Amino acid sequence: MKKYDPKVTPWQVAEQDFPKDGALAEKFKFLLRYAILAPSGHNTQPWKFKLQPDGVFIYADYTGRLPVVDPDDRELVISIGAAIMNLRVAAAHFGYACAVQHQPKANTPELLASARLSESSQTDTELKKLFPAIVQRHTNRIAYEVRSLAEGELKRLQKLTTGQKAAIRIVTDKTIQTSIAELVSQGDHIQMSDPTFRQELASWVRSNWALRGDGIAAYGFGIPGIISWMGPWFMRTFDLGKPQAKKDYQFAKEAAALIIVHGEDTKESLLEAGEMFERFVLTSTSMGLQYAFLNQPVEVRDLRTRLRTILGLADLPQLLFRIGHAEPQKRAMPRRPLNAVLIEDGNPNNQKYDLNINMIKNIIFRRI
């Protein structure tokens, strides 16, 4: 058997390998191979799954917490929402209706959702269309063309903006973009001057050759070749706020559009925000658009209030990203093998996982 390469193997999932004649559990497991390709903050992949006779339970894995940048686990829960959307899309593609219930049992805090899967010949056609985009979607942090979205592109994306407990705002007004760009650059200065922020980020940045199944390979930040070995040290040691702020200011101001996902800070709203975000970026990927985050004003408390005011939101901004036209990012980020995030009786990975290095990091970096 070929060696598992975390940057390649999980992305090579082939639909013809779907176990058509296999047991239900095998089919559900196959669908989860698409769920784990979802994006997550610092690529922590803070999810776990447990197979059920009629579907899967979806759990938060709090060992993947980011106490500095995400002290309330907002982005952790949003990431799980993104994984749920991938599961919905894969289920629709392979002929399964997928009924998701957020927070099925309030007395089990890690259990965030359940997905009931049943064979169906009439699955959601709009979701089905997004299936190829699951493996094509990558966060793309390069500079984009300074070019507006076509009317048709904007119209298609506008259809994805209304949810029940969350919503999406598309900003193309340059005056508002400039005000938001100001906040993004202030956010960069604030975050990068904080050694605990840099330390946490650096602890998830990997060299381009690392074989770990999580974290951000330095090429994701445009750090090439041999220099990537120094990436984590560099990030930890130097306050790069000034150049980062300058770059991000321009990115935000010139973006074809800035996208704000908003809702309340409740688990149900955050899960929906994550689902809506992932549907939005899968759709934009299928349209040939690129995206990258500018979350700084959502992550710094004071700036979040100011962003909310600029947008006149009744609820709270949860995610901020730019979209536009650019060369696609072809290099994928690593993923852990499905087995490592599957809760199975007697799966040794789970015990190992409970005592992993992230837990130790959390203790060190936790702010009291």
Ligand X SMILES: Cc1cc2nc3c(=O)[nH]c(=O)nc-3n(C[C@H](O)[C@H](O)[C@H](O)COP(=O)(O)O)c2cc1C
Question: Is residue 253 at the binding interface for ligand X, with CB under 6 A as the rule?
Answer: no
Contact between 96 and 48 (Cβ < 8 Å): no
Size of the site for ligand X (CB under 6 A): 16
Q: Give residue 139's Cα distance to chain centre.
A: 9
**Minimal distance, residue 288 CB to ligand X, in Å:** 16
Question: Is residue 311 at the binding interface for ligand X, with CB under 6 A as the rule?
Answer: no
**Minimal distance, residue 141 CB to ligand X, in Å:** 6
Task: Give the nearest residue (CB) to ligand X.
Answer: 39
**Minimal distance, residue 182 CB to ligand X, in Å:** 17
Contact between 81 and 275 (Cβ < 8 Å): yes
From candidates 7, 33, 42, 48, binder to ligand X by CB under 6 A = 42
Encoded tokens for 107: 């007395």
DSSP letter, residue 145: P
| Residue (41 or 317) nearer to ligand X, CB | 41
Encoded tokens for 130: 């997004």
**Minimal distance, residue 42 CB to ligand X, in Å:** 6
d(Cα 255, Cα 106) in Å, to the nearest integer?
40
What DSSP element (H or E) covers 134?
helix 133-136
Question: Is residue 39 at the binding interface for ligand X, with CB under 6 A as the rule?
Answer: yes
From candidates 18, 96, 251, 293, binder to ligand X by CB under 6 A = 293
Per-residue HEC secondary structure of 81-122 comes to HHHHHHHHHHHHHCCEEEEEEECCCCCCCCEEEEEEEEECCC
Question: Is residue 295 at the binding interface for ligand X, with CB under 6 A as the rule?
Answer: yes
CB 303: neighbour CB atoms within 10 A? 21
From candidates 52, 103, 139, 196, binder to ligand X by CB under 6 A = 139
CA torsion, ordered 198, 184, 263, 88, to nearest 10 deg: -70
Encoded tokens for 5: 């390469």
Q: What are phi and psi of 306, to 5 degrees?
A: -70, -35
Sketch the per residue contact string, 208 through 237, with ligand X: x for CB under 6 A, - otherwise.
--------x---------------------
| Residue (117 or 332) nearer to ligand X, CB | 332
DSSP letter, residue 222: T
**Minimal distance, residue 136 CB to ligand X, in Å:** 11
Question: Is residue 182 at the binding interface for ligand X, with CB under 6 A as the rule?
Answer: no
Contact between 259 and 289 (Cβ < 8 Å): no
**Minimal distance, residue 134 CB to ligand X, in Å:** 10
d(Cα 69, Cα 93) in Å, to the nearest integer?
35
Stretch that binds ligand X, among 50-58, 136-144, 170-178, 259-267 (CB under 6 A): 136-144
| Residue (93 or 138) nearer to ligand X, CB | 138
Question: Is residue 41 at the binding interface for ligand X, with CB under 6 A as the rule?
Answer: yes
d(Cα 259, Cα 179) in Å, to the nearest integer?
14
| Residue (18 or 293) nearer to ligand X, CB | 293
Question: Is residue 78 at the binding interface for ligand X, with CB under 6 A as the rule?
Answer: yes
**Residues of the shown chain interacting with ligand X in the complex, contacts defined by CB under 6 A:** 39-43, 75, 78-79, 82, 138-139, 141, 216, 293, 295, 333
